[in-house]
Structure 1
Amino acid sequence: MEFLNPRSWCFSKYFSLITIFFGFSFSAQASESIFSFVDFNIAFVLGLSLPILLLSVLIRRIIPNPWWYFAGLTLSALGFLYSLLYLSQYQAPALLSSSTIMLTLVGLWAFATTKMHLLDKESEFFNSINLGQKILVVVGLANIAMLWLLPQIDAYLIWLVFGGALLFIYAAYIAILAKLAPEQVVRSVCLWLVLGVFVGVMFFYLHARVEQDWLIISFIACYMMTLVNGNWGLTQQVYQLINDKNVDGNEQLTPEQLFSFTHDPATNLPSYQQAIMRFEQLIKQNSNQSFAVVVIKPRNFEHVNRVLGHQNSDILLLQLAYCLKRAVSQHDYLMNFDFSDVTAKLARLPSLHFMLAIDLNRIDHDKESVISELCRQLTIAVPPAMSFKSFSLKFELCFGVAYTSEHGQSLHEVIAHAGDAVMEAEKNNLQWSLFNNQVSLYTEQQLLRMERLKQDIQNDGLIWQLAPQINIENKQISGFSLLAKWRDSGSLLELDDFIEVAEQSGEVHSLSKKMLVQAFKALFELKKLNIYQPIGIRLSSQELLEPDLADFIELQIAKYNISARYLIIQMSENVMQVACDRAKHMIDQLKSLEVRICISDFDGSYESLRYIRKLSVDQLNITCDVLSKAESGSAEKAIINSLISLARTMKMSFIGTNIHTKEALNHYQLMGGLIGEGDVMAPNINISEIEDWVDNWFKSNPSADTRNSLLDI
């Protein structure tokens, strides 16, 4: 052919350039073609864009990406270069139109990528990004329309206005991006600067102030920077996908597997970990966002577990979860804990707790009113009775609330505090309770007390005393009770006042062993003084009924060579009732060693009488402190009198304790009491002062001296 069509010649020339760009050799045609700087850039854009565009389209189902913006960007770039090279009559409006389309697509591509990977519909930035997209489209279309429909308007000035508007919108986008993904800000700022340079170079080129080569260089730089910025996340995802394939042995999680990993199997609700992940994502998008965490607990569900077992009770739990989820599914102010289910406003926490999260920025009323109304709706959403076969139960709900802005430094801490508020609501029989920071302060103080008590137990920092038991008639010593006291913040506490702290610190077993050691040390000192009277040890906690307690007593008997008959274990009625089986087993072990058993604070309960009837108890302690203020004919006095009469009728040895006034002593003696313990007869003594106290007592009461006489047991 002698003459070639210009367009077919142009296509042949660019095809040759592309093949040269990729390393292929078509030397005959290439040598005959003369390539300009614009031709090289057209070939460069085609050669670079087509493979990336093809890859983006092929992997769009695996990795979602807005490939259509990239395709439009490439077409606008080719249109710009084509207009620059081949158009003469309408070159300026064609250049400005293709540049407008390209710059608009740059912004739309960035916005679309952010929406696809960093935002969801509940984010406060979602509407801002949508608005930015709409403004970009309107400004771009308006600019193109004025270029072609209103030729009398200064197109160069319109270009400058459009460029300024674009840069302003993109700067606002960068400000949002700094809160969502700070690691992407540097690349976005670089692109913003390149866009600004291109807008300026185009303006000066239209005024013949800049050479064409500089316009092409700024345009290609803008195109390349957009390409890098837009495909950066896609490249990372492809790289991550390849790594995941290598790590997982080319295995992918199915939707069913992903659901099972992120949801609770019993209720099909989002799990605790899923809720935390969702929480962190939303707070990362807006650090100023504030939530009210509401933890829900069915008060009486533990009864269901005991009656039906866990497997069957899970069916009732599923029914409850469904009712609660349905009741809150339409509340827009509640956080959605699932990425695929917009109605997943309820999450399952460990144990029997559920969780809601109220977005306080999306409510129009007082937050306490909203919380109260929500709790009311959830309460009435539960049916009057939920049934499983023949079993029926009415669930009673209680709620605990904590605010992310006030009640914790982390989400885990806030949720835990809401759980503490649930316990407070359950304890005080309230519908819902707000977490009180004073509770946290009290908890910290309790932890400090536990640590101090633990150190004092380990370092022998407790105060050990003996309470003498005296015969009222002849002042003879009938025995002692071991008292453990602990000095806490300047106050001297009795055993009953700090036994709970010992239980919480896990040192109650060590405390019981310390008590036994001190009792045997005191018995050893009394033995040296020829005083053969028993010492009682009070076990006021069921945690003290350790299986190896009898073995430890046996070791102390062998160590100090003292008969077990001189040791009395005092068990409270509460311990016998709460830990009935453990107490029975402990009594059997102790009786086999000939250790005597005493019921302290005897009040005539059935459990105590049952042990007395079986002859497992050797002594009764009757608390007489109420006699100090008892009036003649009072109910308190009648109760003590009946207990003493009961003990005498059953021919049981008994001791009146806590006799601290003469009035109480007189009442006790008139009722037939013989042996008493209290300040009015003999104050408590330190173990280290036994010898001096014994000498002084016998000097004051010579007839009470029974030294060298063995206890008749």
Structure 2
Amino acid sequence: MRGHWGLARRLLLIALLGIVLTLLAAQVVLRSENKAIAERLQEDTRQLEDHFRQVLLTYAFATEWTARNLARDPEQELLTLADESTALFLYYPSLRRILVLDENFDVLFERASKQVQPLTTENFRDSEIAAKLSANPLLPHARSGRAGPFSDAIGDIVLAAGYENGQTSNFLTLVVDIDHFFDGLIRSEITEGYQVEISMDEQTVYRFAGNDDLRDKWAVNLPLKFASNEWQVQLWPTPERLDDMYSASVPMVLFGGLLLSLGGLFLGWRSHQLHQRLHARQQLVRQATEQLKQMHKTEDRLIFLSDHDALTELPNRNGLLRYLQNKIPDVERNQRPLVILVISIDAFRDLNHALGHTIGDEIIKRIALRVQKVLPAGAFISRTTVDTFVVVCELANDELTQALAEAIRHNIMPQLFIDQHEIYCSASIGIAYAKDANYDVDSLLYNADSALYCARQQGYFGIEFYHRDQQLELNQRRERLQALRSALENNQLELHYQPIIQLRESTIVGVEALLRWRTADGELIEPRKFLDLLEQTGLIFSITEFIFKTAYQQLSQWQKQYDSKLTMCLNLSLRQLTMPELPELVTHYRKRAQLSPDSLQLEFDESVYLQLCRSHKVTVEQLKKLGMRVCVNVTGVSNSLLEAISYCPPHVVKIAPELIAEVPAQAVQTELVESVIRLAQNLNLQVIAVAVEEQQQTDFLLQRNCVLAQGHYLAPALPAEELTALLQQPFTLQQQRPSVF
């Protein structure tokens, strides 16, 4: 089937090539003939121009010759002219009138051809020819001009010559019928099949044409000039004449091209048959050779990939284990120091998710090159996981090891420019010695991982050496993580709700959902003690879904029973906010609970808000499009905050607990709280004070028109059942507010 399709394509190509070449050749011949026809038309027009001049010169000669005869004996010759005028009209058929004018341009003599209307004036001093004759009356040559008053036809001309009559000058004037003149000229000079139009001053004075179809394409324009008179002539052929002017070259070229195309098709078909036979034999040889090469190539690649990373081509975990298994016995035997550095790129999974796997792969390759540049001679480097590199080298003491770790950290620090993205990366480094693991490979890697975990706890660019206390901390972390998994499966995680109070009206207008972990012995653990652990694992996604599902169902129940305007505030971390499925999760549970979008409020800390506005503004905009209210927990008014609010404004501003705690006792904190309140009020943002713990703070807020607050003094965070009981009765503050309000 493929062979037939190849033959069809080849024959089609030959046919197309033959057709294209034939059409190109025909086009060349056609252009050549068009050019020849255009030149022929130009030549015929030039011949018409030459004959036009010759004929008009005969009229001018007749004028000059007759004027010279009149100059010899004006009276006698005038009589002779009267007798000979008939002969002049016969010999010059376009001659309309013969006049003799005196020096004042009055008519002394007149003869006219048949069917010529009599003159309407007897004096021609104002005519164009009179002006020319007055300037030089005895010039021996004839002069010409427009007929004007000498004729009732617009295009006619006059030829005039002066002669002496005693002491005065007379003028012989011939009026030429230009229409008749051109008609005789065209009919005698132009071959049948041509069409002509002659115009003067854009007015047609003569036309010999009946078909204008070819005029725009083939018309030849040429000026006809005689003395001061000028006409514009256009000549073009009729369709029949144009067909006669073409030769048989174009049909012959088309026919010849068709024959050559057919011959090419036959040769192509025959060549294809021969090529198929040769290709079938060569294919057998190539298949055998290629199979053999592919087998060797695949075998080499499998051997390489078994010990190397495909992206960076560095040794992988298998390669690292093989290297350590060969290296450690020799190190132990010779008691040489061996150190292992585990380098983990901080938050690489977030980068990979935000920027895409293509950019993530490029980041890994570039960091691998940067790390290799600072390694000492003989050092071994491998890539063991997506974001982790392991370096093995022999260093004598902690100072040299620390210096190498610092060099690696310093080399990773500069920004990366990838596809118009400016990316900053950091890495945490865990360090362990072989002697501390008793030269056991598994123990050495385990110790390095423990050190890496402690390095990550320090924040970005953490460096940590392994020591035995880390083992206990790592075990505790493992136990806590296992307990969290169990808590999620056994429904030991629950939400408590702290009311948001409208201080002037003493009403609950909203609640903030707060996550709590109730252990088996009844102890309640707050999120700050386990949230980091959740974010470092995949449990954060399950917890987020649990929060939305539980909070939305509870809010729907409260709105139906007590207050349809009650709002719910949820506090999310950056990791939760950048979850791709967050918008879908919010929409799903909101619709399921039949809640309006504006009854839901997402709250995040100032640092998270600034990072969102810088790198994830689309996330905030998407939440706003879903109708969610955005709340920012601020610790003061900074330039960064003002800039973020200007191009990514929230709906609500919360005053952080650390500011409210010292109000109004501390002047600095008081001023900061007042500045936050003024900023929110000026921007028409709702403002809520958090952690209000005494009546004096309540009074301070009311004096500054901050009427929304929450805190243990007003109402503590309660389980849903206890808060439901509180909603069923009128709300009163724990202490009576001053009556001034």
| TM-score, length-scaled by structure 2 | 0.46
Look at both structures and tell me which one has the larger radius of gyration over its CA atoms. Answer: 2
Bigger share in helix: 1
Q: TM-score, normalised by structure 1?
A: 0.48
